[in-house]
Structure 1
Amino acid sequence: MPSRPAAGDLLLIDRGGRTTAIRLPRHGAAALGACLALVALWALGAGFYIAFHDTVVAELRRGAKAAEQGYDAQVADLRNELERLRTRRLVEQTGVEQRFAEFLKRQEALERRQTALAALGGAAPADAPSSAQPLSYTTKPQPLDKPTTAFDDLTGSTEPQRRSGLDRMETLSAAIDRAETRQTALLEQTAARVSERRRKMTEVWESLGLARRLGGDGLGRGGPFEPLPAGHGVDDRIRRLSADHAEAEALRRRLDAAPLRSPAPPASLVSSGFGTRIDPFLGQPALHAGVDFASEGGEPIRATAPGRVVESGYNGGYGLMVEIDHGGGLTTRFAHMSYSAVTSGQTVKAGQIIGRVGSTGRSTGPHLHYETRIDGDAVDPMRFLRAGRTLAAID
């Protein structure tokens, strides 16, 4: 039986005519070829690395630098976005603060105008925001356990709060607008009332024919006349209205110093008027320098305006007489009294009792003879008494 050849691969090596046979294990040739291929590949790779080492390193460095630049660009973009968000929030916050400051100025103006109108007799307008309950525009606190991010305070998490603050400012703005509208209407009403009051008091004053005799404080004043600067704003109108009101009050004070009240008891009757009449003793025409008020003896006689007593005593046909100086050349006389309650040099107030009705001097019976004189000249007392009734109707 013939022998089987040994398993494996036979490798023949020819060296100078001598042939050497090497038998490899089974698949050894394949293994050897693979090893040789790997060695060849390694050699090729090593040669490529040696040949292109600098180029590869440069490419790697360029890639790393490009990646770093891309990362830096992303970081810069994020920083720019963050800065834009912060700038927008700062602008919005500045706008809110400016609007709030504007509201405060408008509210201060409302309060200042209302103070001026109150001094003129105006009422507070409805819907005016009260300084006792200021509105707050601070953001609400957030819970500590709420997850947040670096951009939460700059993006949508505060949007509802921002909108809430803006809505509250709009509400405040609308309230101030309504208050200004009502205040303007009140200003119109007050201006009409003050103007009418001033006009009526001017008419009353002019009806007395006293010019500027009464109501001064004795202090020197002067200077060239300069009209107020033109203006159409509410504050300008209030200033003009205050000037009109001040003039009306000055007229009122002057009128308070004038003898506009009745000196006689309420039930008295005018028995003889001012001017030409038939003298009760001689029966011939004569000038009656005052007004006679028939009344019961002993009834009180009152001063018709504040002043200083310049005479208190008997004076010929006047009988017991009191004369009061009211300043500005205006005096009043009360005659035929049964009793005088004041003395010369004494200061009296309007309505103060200065004596009692009597029939002393040239008199036919109990009555009060009352005179008003300007610079010593007798004028009709009824002119002042009528002005007093008109003034009472104005007040």
Structure 2
Amino acid sequence: MPAAAGTRHASLLSGAADRIVIERGGRRMAIRLPRHGVAALAAALALLGGWSIAAAGYVFFHDAVVAELRQRSNAASKGYQAELAAMRDALERTRTKGLVERSSLDDRLAEILARQAAIEKRQSRLDALADLGGGAETKDRSDITFSLKPAPMDGASAPEEAAPAPGLRSSALGEAEKVASALDAIELDQARALEGVALKTAERRRTLERVYDAARLRRPAVSDGRARGGPFEPLPAGSLTFETRAEEIQAERAAVSAYEAGLSRAPIRTPAPGASISSGFGARPDPFLGRLAFHAGIDFERDAGESVRATAGGRVTNAGWSGGYGEMVEIDHGGGLATRYGHLSAVLVRVGDEVKIGSLLGLAGSTGRSTGPHLHYETRVNGEAVDPMRFLNAGRLLAAR
């Protein structure tokens, strides 16, 4: 340490002298102070030094505190921001989940409504086929209700609805599943009923084919005329849809309808319901001459005045007196088929009349070459008399089904 500095500091700190000597640059200056002045100056210098230290410390401490506060504030701000972001994410996830669940419910409802429409369409088709095929029925499920309302369709506006509570949404989904299960049962019933119609239709067709064969009638053509072919291979079970199966049954029904239409003009019904046959077709002793003769028809026991009815539909070609037949009615049924009804006491139709199966033609009697009241009945194919029993037996086969 330099001597001047040592002397200055020694004089200031000793406090024993009444003057202050200051040396600077080789010059010395002495300041005389009273003793109490020296003490006051020393105290002032000490206070000034302490204030300087304190001020410096305060500045340093203040800066550190501010920095700490800023750091904590920044950290807190980041924490709040992160928390808010997490909350927003959670809300978005909840909203998205709600939308997904609601969308899932809407999709389920749309699916159910589509299935209901398809079931109604199938039921209409099934009812029509059942009416034709003998009446297969499905179980009555009219008690099935569904109260959930679908979302507006075709862009129609609707007021914004609050998302349903989880419990309500769960209940709605549960109700939808119940309806879906009920629809499953209905579809199964419809499939079974459809197969029932198919069986009845196939049985009806086989019966009609036997009738045609028994009557030795040509079956109506039921093909659409288009050429087809190929080896037969059985269809895998369950590979047919309802509509495809219904189309097959409809085609089968078309064949049945054609067969039935053909038989409507075939003389397969009796002209005298409940009457017994008194004389058959073919060779027999002539009732007047006693020798064998050809009987071109069959005779039904019938009291005078009892009804005589058409055995098939057709057009009346003769209505009146006709030699040995007496009062007679003849009907042309088409396809070369004709029937004759002889010995009538009264004729109730005129030539040109169109008649149906069972139409009243006249009343039984004993006109013409006859020994008593009865009905002489003939069937002719292309003008040739054939045994009426050929047709009547075929008709009995049909009636037995």
Mapped partners of 1:94, 1:339: distance in 2: 80
1:232 aligns with 2:240: yes
Shift in CA distance, 361/165, structure 1 to aligned 2, threshold 3 Å: same
Provide the residue aligned with 1:261 in structure 2. Answer: 269
Provide the residue aligned with 2:105 in structure 1. Answer: 96
Residue of 143, 163, 167 corresponding to 1:160: 167
Shift in CA distance, 48/90, structure 1 to aligned 2, threshold 3 Å: closer
Q: Secondary structure at the match of 2:335?
A: coil
Mapped partners of 1:29, 1:276: distance in 2: 175
Mapped partners of 2:253, 2:82: distance in 1: 73
TM-score by length of 2: 0.74
Mapped partners of 2:202, 2:283: distance in 1: 39
Give the drift of 1:291: 0.9
Give the drift of 1:388: 2.6
Residue of 314, 320, 335 corresponding to 1:313: 320
Task: Map residues 240-259 of structure 1 onto 2, 5 A cutoff.
Answer: 240-259=248-267
Larger Rg: 2
Provide the residue aligned with 1:149 in structure 2. Answer: none
Q: Secondary structure at the match of 2:320?
A: strand
Shift in CA distance, 200/43, structure 1 to aligned 2, threshold 3 Å: same
Structure 1's unaligned 5+ residue stretches are: 1-9, 140-152
Provide the residue aligned with 1:192 in structure 2. Answer: 199
1:38 aligns with 2:55: no
1:264/1:302 contact within 8 Å kept: yes
Query: Match of 1:98, as an amino acid?
Result: D
1:124 aligns with 2:133: no
1:206 aligns with 2:210: no
TM-score by length of 1: 0.75
Mapped partners of 1:164, 1:255: distance in 2: 60
Provide the residue aligned with 1:87 in structure 2. Answer: 96
Mapped partners of 1:341, 1:13: distance in 2: 176
Shift in CA distance, 47/283, structure 1 to aligned 2, threshold 3 Å: closer
Q: Secondary structure at the match of 2:334?
A: coil
2:298/2:378 contact within 8 Å kept: yes
Mapped partners of 1:369, 1:259: distance in 2: 15
Mapped partners of 2:265, 2:42: distance in 1: 145
Please give the root-mean-square deviation of Cα atoms over the aligned residues, in Å.
4.0
2:300/2:375 contact within 8 Å kept: yes
Mapped partners of 1:337, 1:61: distance in 2: 129
Residue of 296, 309, 321 corresponding to 1:289: 296
Mapped partners of 1:12, 1:322: distance in 2: 178
Q: Paired residues, what number?
A: 355
Give the drift of 1:292: 0.9
Task: Map residues 372-383 of structure 1 onto 2, 5 A cutoff.
Answer: 372-383=379-390
Structure 2's unaligned 5+ residue stretches are: 1-14, 21-29, 152-161, 230-234
1:18 aligns with 2:32: yes
Mapped partners of 2:115, 2:284: distance in 1: 68
Provide the residue aligned with 1:77 in structure 2. Answer: 86
1:292/1:367 contact within 8 Å kept: yes
Mapped partners of 2:257, 2:31: distance in 1: 150
Shift in CA distance, 265/114, structure 1 to aligned 2, threshold 3 Å: closer
Provide the residue aligned with 2:338 in structure 1. Answer: 331
Provide the residue aligned with 1:176 in structure 2. Answer: 183
Provide the residue aligned with 1:369 in structure 2. Answer: 376
Give the drift of 1:179: 2.3
Query: Match of 1:103, as an amino acid?
Result: I
Mapped partners of 2:116, 2:393: distance in 1: 46
Query: Match of 1:363, as an amino acid?
Result: S
Comparing 118-127 and 333-342, the one that deviates more: 118-127
Mapped partners of 1:287, 1:22: distance in 2: 184
1:134 aligns with 2:134: no
Q: Secondary structure at the match of 1:280?
A: coil
Query: Match of 2:390, as an amino acid?
Result: R
Provide the residue aligned with 2:399 in structure 1. Answer: 392
Query: Match of 2:101, as an amino acid?
Result: E
1:126/1:182 contact within 8 Å kept: no
| Percent of aligned pairs sharing the same letter | 43
Provide the residue aligned with 2:9 in structure 1. Answer: none
Shift in CA distance, 256/48, structure 1 to aligned 2, threshold 3 Å: same
Shift in CA distance, 310/129, structure 1 to aligned 2, threshold 3 Å: same
Mapped partners of 2:284, 2:389: distance in 1: 16
Shift in CA distance, 222/19, structure 1 to aligned 2, threshold 3 Å: same
1:125/1:186 contact within 8 Å kept: no
Query: Match of 2:268, as an amino acid?
Result: L
Give the drift of 1:345: 0.8
1:320/1:338 contact within 8 Å kept: yes
Give the drift of 1:81: 3.0
Give the drift of 1:97: 2.1
